[in-house]
Amino acid sequence: MAEPLSNSKPGLLEAPVLSRIRRNHALEHATLHVLSSRLPHTALMGHSDMGGFWIIGEVSPEDLHAAVQEALTRLRAGEADLAVHPNCGTNYVTAGVLAGLSGAAAMLTAGRRWQDKLSRLPLAASLATLALIAAQPLALSIQRHITTSGQPGSLEVVAITNKTQGRMTLNRIETRG
């Protein structure tokens, strides 16, 4: 008989390094959600790592601090959907991999002559399109279950700094926990 989930050992995603990155990634997404609702015409990007995350774009320190705190509070209150963002790189990677593999599969099964391969081009395009359609819900699920964790646990913000590099403003949010 299978061991109950509550007694099972933590999986790879709960390893300390991955858990921190996933929780930081979730807080990054939640912060971007809050900022986009407050600053709807501001272009922002994010990037997460074990020590925290970056918000790249023009945002005042006061707005950023308030957004990070609201995002963390809302995640702790159970708003795990804030951890999933429609513009996450996970979405683009998932779409690219699925479309590339499906297109390649169609082309690799063609004959040796270039005319044979060319005749398979409509099939390759159709399969790639279907893969892009399938990638949308799949990528959101991958975010929800693998690349982010909507449960911040003991994660806390320890510092928020910014610097300008050329025309870019780089905002660093450092975390621990």
Q: How would you classify residue 54: left for phi > 0, otherwise alpha for psi between -120 and 50, otherwise beta?
A: beta
> What was the pLDDT predicted at 9?
54
pLDDT digit string, tens, across residues 18-48: 999 999 999 999 999 999 999 999 999 999 9
> What was the pLDDT predicted at 111?
75
pLDDT of 6 over the 80 cut: no
pLDDT digit string, tens, across residues 124-146: 999 999 999 999 999 999 999 99
pLDDT digit string, tens, across residues 60-73: 999 999 999 999 99
Q: What is the dihedral of CA 59, 79, 152, 68, to 10 degrees?
A: 10
Name the band, by pLDDT with cuts 50, 70 and 90, for residue 152: very high
pLDDT digit string, tens, across residues 14-24: 888 999 999 99
Q: Mean pLDDT throughout 110-131?
A: 87
- DSSP class of residue 74? H
Greatest distance between any 2 Cα atoms in the chain: 63
Name the band, by pLDDT with cuts 50, 70 and 90, for residue 5: very low
> What was the pLDDT predicted at 1?
40
In this structure, are residues 63 and 31 in contact, taking their beta carbons and an 8 Å threshold? no
